[in-house]
Structure 1
Amino acid sequence: MSADTSPLPAPPAGDDPAERVAWLRTVVEHHRRRYYEQDDPEIGDEEYDALFGELERLEQEHPELDAADSPTKRVGGAPLDKLTKVRHEQPMLSLANAHRPEELEAWVDRMRNHLSREGIEDPAFRFVTEPKVDGLAMSLRYEDGVLVRAATRGDGEVGEDVTHNVRTIPSVPLHVPDAPAVLEVRGEIYMALKDFERLNERRAQAGESTFMNPRNSAAGTIRQLDPKLAKTRPLSFWAYGVGVVAASRADAPDAGDGAASAAAGTSSSVGEVLGVEGHHAVLLWLRERGFPVNEDVRVHDDPAAVVARCAEWQERRDRLDFEIDGVVVKVDDHELQRRLGSVGRDPRWAIAWKFPPRTAVTTLLDVVWSVGKFGDLHPYAVLDPVVVSGVTVSQATLHNEEDLARKDVRPGDRVIVLRAGDVIPQVVSPAPHEVDREDRADPPRPPARCPACDTPTEKPEDSVFTRCPNRGGCPGQQYQLLKHYVSRGAMDIEGLGEKQVLQLLQQGLVRTAADLYALTAEQLVELEGYGEISATRVVDAIARSKEQPFARVLFAIGLEEVGQVTGRNLAARFRTIDALRAATPEQLAETPGVGGKMAEIIAERLADPAVGELVDRLRAAGVQLEQEGPAPGEGALDGLTVVLTGTLPTLTREQATERLTAAGARVTTSVSRKTSALVAGESAGSKLEKAERLGVPVLDEEGLGRLLVEGPGILAPDADDDDGGEDTEPDDGGPAADGS
């Protein structure tokens, strides 16, 4: 979607409420699009909230100025008594499925045969591929550009009116510029994975039950009667097509007309009314008018390219921030769509390439509990081994005790197991009808004593976890803290993994991370699995970890609430471990990304004598506890905002981030017009495409090196072209290629 660069109107000079309301609606809608659709906000949250609040107040004081497309309609009105039924003017059809290349080729052959009977020989097919988002299909009806109704798919013929909830979704336009008299936009309501995780975290902290998966969360939210509840849940929308369109009301069936003619929404009329030709052109038309359309939609000229694209989506599936269960393939040409028509409830001109299932059913043998690095007790399932997505699974996570209680899985149950890529397998729920068995075991409960050290456990009021309070003395916590310290994202000590850490603990050679620096090769040679060469390599790797920057050390030592980003921010702000330990919660809360509650937890952990002892011993061992490089505002790259994407030849994402932040740059995750540069590696994907579209300079790893050495001058338009910013063809890696 192109950014909105049109100048905003000046505020009205007089006191006329109607003029002020009209101006506020224009300004608020402009900033909404900049924030939600273009990822390029121009004002801060407080300023936006002030404008929105003034508009809301004026509309309440002057009800005669009310309008259906006002941005304030996203707040939500009064709860409904029930959802009303809506008959779709044009049926929302289902899709036939394909799982293998030969099935897709058979689909193409069937279309050719059908068109041959229609007198069309050897049609030149163009295909459009789109991700099949696992959400809730939705029909949005606009009249004269204003959203008047949103309805679920239902059974394809009759759905439910959920306009009150859909209005609260920021990415759904309430007004469409240059729209025909009647416009029905179809798409998918979904919940992004990161938003789903945050929602569940908030609910768990509030003592509420958590949701099972993003799709159920989205579907349940949309069917709520109270729109104010829906507004609290982070839903998003992808547009994937157009149904009924008409240049005038007289040309279209009335909303809810049970005798509606499908002819009003035929493919050919869509092209004629919108002034475009082909399905892909329709998607571009929607994007230009403010609808979110997936940036990775592609057009292909032959079935082999379609198969290759579907394989790419399947490989990327587990790195996306939204759930997909396949790829939708459509014939692009509107006239061919019309001539192909439908068979039963499926259009002949579209098919869904479905991915292999990622679930299986097996028996839950037992629920056992492990200790986390902060004493949290985590339940996990011991399973009768089962193959899921080609991998044999015998254990699966159950997240936390409240999630375990919500799922109500018990030893002896047949359970559904989900495995998504490299994510730890999880138990989703009991298999159907298991909950009706009279001989089910009792629900599992957290243990009264720590399974690692036998200390009596406790359940803090504000926690979703039962905990072992034996900080510093619990071997389970010691193991988790040490495993975290040596991990790749922390101190990155090569040769020390889970097995080796456990071995060192069991042999009494280490108790905390500081003990690692006293290890000798002679000690390691005495252990099983070590020879002289491997022992020397491990000792050398431990010594090299002393060179890791202060930000990594902060993350590695295991402070609650301090992840990699927070560690970098704290290191940049306080510069030394002594300054950090002396900081008050109020001072900590001034750090970007650190809230009041988080600051209190960090301060409490820093004041723990065990942490103090660890820090002092690490200092004595020579570990970096001071921030190197310039202070904030002093670096050569101060003021630059850089985004990393794809896989670089020699640098990890963490290493590149550290070098940029050490030079004063700010590293973010999304590309906007305010991005100073994009550093793109292999499989860069949609971020590269967006950067090129917005004119953001693109660097490869060599260009990154030049930026760090020569400074921002290489980003100037007249700089040499050998910095990796040449216009190269992306490999369609998409957002999944860099984990976004």
Structure 2
Amino acid sequence: MTILEARQRVEQLRNALDKHNYSYYVLAEPSISDFEYDSLMRELMSLEGQFPELQDASSPSLRVGSDISSEFVQVNHRYPMLSLGNTYSEEELFDFDQRVRKLLAGEEPQYICELKFDGTAINLIYKDGLLVQAVTRGDGVKGDDVTANVKTIRSIPLKLTGSDFPSDFEMRGEIILTHAAFQKMNDTRASKGEALFANPRNAAAGTLKLQNSAEVARRGLDCFLYYTLGEELPYELHYENLIKAKTWGFKISEFSRKCHTMQQVFEFIHHWDKARFDLPFDTDGVVVKVNSYAQQETLGFTAKTPRWAIAYKYKAEQGYTRLVSVDFQVGRTGAVTPVANLEPVYLGGTTVKRASLHNQDQIQLLDLHTGDMVIVEKGGEIIPKIVGVDIAQRPLHTAPVVFLSHCPECGSELFRPEDEARHFCPNDQGCPPQIVGRMVHFISRDAMNIDGMGEETIDLLYRQGLATTPADLYDLQLQQLLPLDRMAAKSASNIIASIEASKEVSFSRVLFALGIRYVGKTTAKKLAEHFRTIEALETATFDELKAVDEVGERIAGSIQRFFGDNRAINLVERLKKAGLNMFLPQKNSEGLSENLKGYTFVISGTFADISREDLKELIEQHGGKNLAAVSGNLNYLVAGDKIGPAKLKKASELGVNIITIDELYSMLK
């Protein structure tokens, strides 16, 4: 076979396999038998092996994955991937509608109701019709590049159909495992004597992070897409863009409804509260979104969630089982949490053996005795909770559960602050779980992101006397790690390299890593931006701390208590000497102006000498603000080549100024 003949046959095979993939995995309408499909795939892979020059990044042969292992690279999201606010109450859903209407100041919202898939979020990036990157949600700002694994999911198109898709856009969705795929996976694991997965959601998330894409391909992941993002979308409406995306080859859920009233929203929710159990996959609620992008822009975001969408979660499932005993766990802050050990009960797709009891008040409220038959509820929490006791089934002569008076780990007398429901161990420098917990928090992904060191390794380092504070990690030597249990030379080298790399982590993440009570990621970022140096934060007065956005009396007091402890000051000094970032660099302000201050812009189309992202940054450097969609709040639409006709039409209808890039440059002078 000549190269020309091979090229023609390869194109035929790829087109045929793409068509059959779409028919089987998206339309659920198989067009050929599995044997015929496998024969076509084998022929394609054989030809690609014979003629390496014909290999292509969008070939269906990539669906089988590779045995090559690779570390995941972190990628910044162009648009943040925020979580949705949750509610279990119809009253709160009604309040959401009232807030939306108030912020829209008289504009009537149209809602789209969609099933909330119970899987793991993914962001797909397409350029010129090809899938170029797939990124997990991560921390919302950046996630892991899992492109190789995602390419094995046959319901995700590697190459789009048609010709009217944007040249550069993103699709977001949920990677799931159907009940059948989950059962098949666990049956295979059971036959090999391997541990079974607890539920489809955990199995899907774990599969997506495997280093072996060939194994990912064997597990049968699926994906529903539910949101489009980009500058050149065909419509200014969310639902209409999803319907259009179907024609490009995406698997869009058929279980959605456009609603004009809250009555229709509640009808959708009530229907699926019962009908969801007949679905071949897990869903735990309904997502309600405002349909108009312009209205979404007006509504905006909080620090963590969009104001234009909310997730209504169905009420928790309950189970009935017996309480065997109660353990008391000590966390990194010293908080002591009672955890119930139960006779196993199947609940919400998992076998439950433990449940949270929260605190002493909850135990007393339940009048809990060892041996009681209890009602266990699994709602939005990872660990189920006990919500009731069947006293009629209580065995004779059972003893009530009594909260501890002393720490189960170090023996220190527990205390309970006046404004807290929890008890705490005060021995923060000598209680092993607190010491280990602080170091585990320090190395976590959202903090210093030190790879290769989990809780077991940290606990081992502590017991060996090699690390009792986070600063000790920066003194570790390779020869100290090698003798540790299950520590290979490569693993030890990777840990040392990751510790060294963590010195590049930003100041805000270092602040978060310090583990100051009540200071989360968002607060740490605001503190870093406000004070800019660790010295300024250390010496800040109570009122100066309270002046920071989202910092109240409780957080301000906690920060002052932290820096009022000499041990904390010593820790910070050691981390400084180790080379960690303890300041926020000043932004380069050279050449900036306020020429665009007070004006809003939307960038549309392509430009010969500058990318849209660089153009947006340029606008912001000169005081302007970028919007995501054309709306009545827009001042200027900057039009490039291949501008979307929908944006042009809407801008003209609203009387928005449409300018060229040269006219924008003139405004900067």
TM-score norm. by structure 1 comes to 0.44
TM-score norm. by structure 2 comes to 0.49
